[in-house]
Structure formats: C-alpha cells, structure tokens
Amino acid sequence: MADPWADPAAYDLVVCGAGPAGAIAAAHAARAGLRVALVEKHRLPRHKPCGGGMPATVGPELAALVPEAVRDFGITLMRHTWKGGEAQLGSVDGVDQPGSGSSRALWMVQRPLFDQALVQAAVGAGVEFWEGWQLRHVTVEPQEILLDLRRRGGAEVPPLERRVTTRHLIGADGAGSVVAQSAGLRRSPRIGLALELEVPHRWDPADPVLRPDTLHLDYGVIRQGYAWAFPKADHINLGAGLFRLRHRDARRDPTARTTIRAAIQTYAATLGLEDRLEGLRVHAHPLPVWDGPEPLQSADGRILLVGDAAGLINPLFGDGLFHAIRSGRLAAECLIAGRGLDYTRQIHALLAEDFEAARRLTWLFYGLPGLTFRYGIANPRATAVAARMLGGEIPFRGLPRRALVRIARGLLGQGARAGAV
C-alpha cells in the first residue's frame, strides 16, 4: 500500500489542533472546497479536561456537523450553593420545574466523544486528518508556510517527521499554542487553572439532589473561582478552577493546585461523593482567559488563532466551548472569502464588548463572592439570566452596574431590617 504521507501535498489550509475550534474551522473550509489538513498530536478519542457544558444556542452552529445524540443530557436546573450550604435551585428558562424540557437547556457532552464526532464530520467534508502528528515548528515564507510535524514512535515503530506546506494556517492548538508563539501573537497570556475528575455514577431517579437534569455550582469552597459537578451519562464531572488570578499565570502560583484539590474534596463531601474519589485520576489544564482585545492574526492575515489558542475564554464564567466553536467558523469564513485580514475585527465585534464587561465584573464576583452569592446568584431569576448570557442571547453590557445596584440594595435592605429590630 502506498504511504499516504510519502508525498505531502501543499494545502490551502492547515488547521493545527482537533478540539472543537479546529474541527469546526476545518469542516467549514473543506465544505467550501479548500484543500484542508487537520493536525492533531493525540489519537482520538482523547481525554480533554473539561466540564463539557454548553449553551443550547450552540445547536445551530453544530446542526449539520454532529448528531444531537452526542449530547448526554439537557440541563434545565442549576443548583447553587455557598460552601455546600442551603441550595438555591434555579431554572435555566425561569420556569421552576424540573425536567421542563426547556429549549434553553444547557448541553452536557463528553469531550472525547464530542470532539471525535466533530472530527469525523470534518473528515466527511473532505478534511485530511493527520492523527497523532504534533506541530513542532512553523516557518513563514513569502509564498507559503512550512510546517514541521512529528509523529511519536512506539515500541517497534520509529518516530516520523514530515514537512507540509500550506497557504494559510489556523492555530486551534489550545492553551500552549505553538502557532501563536510562532506568529508572535499572545505574548503574555493570562492563564487560569482548573482541575477535574470523573466520578463513576449511576443515576437514581429517587435521588432528590444528584439528577441528570441538574448542574451544581459552589462559590464558597474556593476563593477566586468556583467548583462544579456536571452530570454525564455514566459519571459526574467534578472540578474546580481559579479564574481571577493573583499571578498572571496561575501555573506559576505554587499553591494553586493544592488549593483547587482541597476545594474539590470539600465540595465532594457536601454532595456525598467524598468516599468515591479514591484512586480517580485528577486532570489539570490551563485556562487562557480573555485579557483584552489583541491581534489574533498575523500581520498579513495568513495565520489566524481560534478558541483557547486565541484566549477566548470568558473571564467571568470560564467557559470557552461556544466561543471556540464560533471563532472556528468565523476564521474559516474569513479565509474562504479571502479576508483573513478582517478576522480580528470580526472576533472583537462578536465578543470583545461582552468579555470586557465580564472582565470588569470579575473583581466583584470573585472579590466579594459572599455578597454576590447572597444578593445576585441566589436571586430566583439569576439562573435564567446567566443561561441567556452564556448563550449570547443577552449582553453582559450593563451587568456590572446592575450587579452593584442589586448588592447595594441588598445591603441597604439588610441594614434597614437590622435597624428595625
């Protein structure tokens, strides 16, 4: 059989990284007739540390690509707690009814399956998938971009190296993006940190707390972040993250991992899961959070960054999937139209205003979490508002002011009540 890699061809586009951002970008470009390669250093399915929660508004973005069957559950309720105390149950569509079948339900996916389905769709659209190949080096020449790839060897298989050429390159290679470094972009990213583990679980219809339609969030077990428990078909994704940072890069904070681990332990205990953590593997992963508008393309518009490689994680909520997916599509559309130079402007038009408002709110949310919880999150309408903000249906703009007013009113009301006693 001929070695398919013996004569690497020149591509119109190489996408580096087969997470959601990369797979979507590759699929869109191939559908438009471009010759596209998708390069991924791991073999799929691979574990990706992630809660796998997404707003339902992602549906239309994915409609033609993945079957809805990759979705484990539709979440209709959020259960909010402060240090595991009394729970505030909120409905994502404002209807306080479990299992209401809301169209606003948040999606729960398992990343290994979800990402693999997206890549299969991309391959179906004509993308050549370089699975198990790591991008090591990028050389930009006037006419083309040269990529040096390496495939790891096995017990009896020697490592392989290949050079491919392309006219355009999309960096979808996540938090430690080689493409971003090579293009001189995102020189000083702001990096949060999250840890998660998968607790095997059988859903018991009689359990009033752990339910497949409910996601759990706690804001008091960790400072400058939150902890979560997300339902999956056969397990609970349990984790915690640091989002507002003492260090620009949380990985440089020597106490970060211990702090997050301790928060997960504490949170597990409040959910009755503490005895089920032993022996489970804990995964850690950086979160490149938005840190203000910056160029996301090379000066000539031939190299574009998408998803985590572009730092498109909401600094308030820490979610990145929806933004990764939308940026992947936008990057492909810009290149298809021959308008790579317009990409950064389009991303900023889509996200910058919201992300900046979210960033302004982090000092309140993570700086005064007790007050935010009491007078904001615990409000019966807050869940529906948060779900719509996650889904891009209502803007973050104006929220910082509204949040301050709400907290001030709460404090004044409390003061008045105390005065009346």
Dihedral of CA 339/306/172/129: which sign? negative
Pick the closer one to ligand FAD by CB: 126 or 132.
132
Binding status of residue 319 toward ligand FAD by CB under 6 A: yes
Contact 56, 104 (CB under 8 A): yes
Residue 312's SS3 state is coil
Please give the Cα distance from 53 to 108 (Å, whole number): 5
Q: How far is the CB of 404 from ligand FAD (least distance, A)?
A: 27
Contact status, residue 338 vs residue 185, Cβ threshold 8 Å:
no
- Residue 212 lies near ligand FAD (rule: CB under 6 A): no
User: x/- contact string, 275-294, with ligand FAD (CB under 6 A)?
Assistant: ----------x-x-------
> In this complex, which beta carbon is closest to ligand FAD, that of residue 105 or of residue 172?
172
| The only residue of 196, 198, 213, 354 in contact with ligand FAD, by rule CB under 6 A | 196
Looking at 13-21, 62-70, 78-86, 266-274, which segment touches ligand FAD (CB under 6 A)?
13-21
Task: Give residue 82's region: left, alpha or beta (phi > 0; psi -120 to 50).
Answer: beta
* Distance in angstroms (rounded) separating the CA atoms of residues 61 and 128: 22
Q: Is 231 in the site for ligand FAD (CB under 6 A)?
A: no
DSSP for residue 280 = P
Residue of 128, 308, 354, 356 interacting with ligand FAD (CB under 6 A) = 308
Q: Taking the complex as a whole, how short is the minimal distance between the CB of residue 99 and ligand FAD, in angstroms? A: 21
Q: Which helix (H) or strand (E) holds 289?
A: strand 283-289
Using CB under 6 A, pick the residue from 13, 14, 15, 16 that binds ligand FAD: 16
In the complex, the smallest distance separating the C-beta of residue 419 from ligand FAD, rounded to whole angstroms, is 43
Taking the complex as a whole, the smallest distance from the CB of residue 252 to ligand FAD amounts, in Å, to 17
Q: Report the site for ligand FAD in 71-130 (rule: CB under 6 A).
A: none
- SS3 state at 108: strand
- Contact flag: residue 225 with ligand FAD (CB under 6 A): no
Pairing state between β 128-131 and 36-40 = parallel
Mask for 128-147, x = binds ligand FAD (CB under 6 A): ------xx------------
Q: In whole angstroms, how close is the CB of 111 to ligand FAD at the nearest point? A: 7
Alpha-carbon span 163 to 97, nearest angstrom? 56
- Minimum separation from the CB atom of position 284 to ligand FAD (A): 8
Determine the Cα–Cα distance for residues 248 and 245; give it in Å rounded to an integer. 6
Q: Does 307 bind ligand FAD (CB under 6 A)?
A: yes
- Tokens read off for 81: 């707690």
Closest CA to 168 of 300, 72, 267: 300
Tell me the number of residues near ligand FAD by CB under 6 A: 38
Q: Does 198 bind ligand FAD (CB under 6 A)?
A: no
Q: Which amino acid is at 338?
A: G
List the x/- string, 47-66, binding to ligand FAD by CB under 6 A. -xxxxxxx------------
Name which of 135 and 384 has its Cβ closer to ligand FAD: 135
From 172-180, 257-265, 271-279, 403-411, give the range in contact with ligand FAD by CB under 6 A: 172-180
| 27 sits near ligand FAD (criterion: CB under 6 A) | no
The nearest distance, CB 172 to ligand FAD, in angstroms, is: 5
User: Is residue 46 within 8 Å of 112, Cβ to Cβ?
Assistant: yes
CB contact at 8 A, 15 and 21: no
Q: What is the DSSP string of 23-68?
A: HHHHHHHHHTT--EEEEESSPSS-------EE-GGGHHHHTTTS-G
How far is 370 from 377, CA to CA, in rounded Å?
10
Single residue of 17, 212, 340, 391 touching ligand FAD by CB under 6 A = 17
Binding site for ligand FAD (CB under 6 A): 16-22, 39-42, 48-54, 134-135, 172-174, 178, 194, 196, 239, 285, 287, 307-309, 313, 319-322, 324
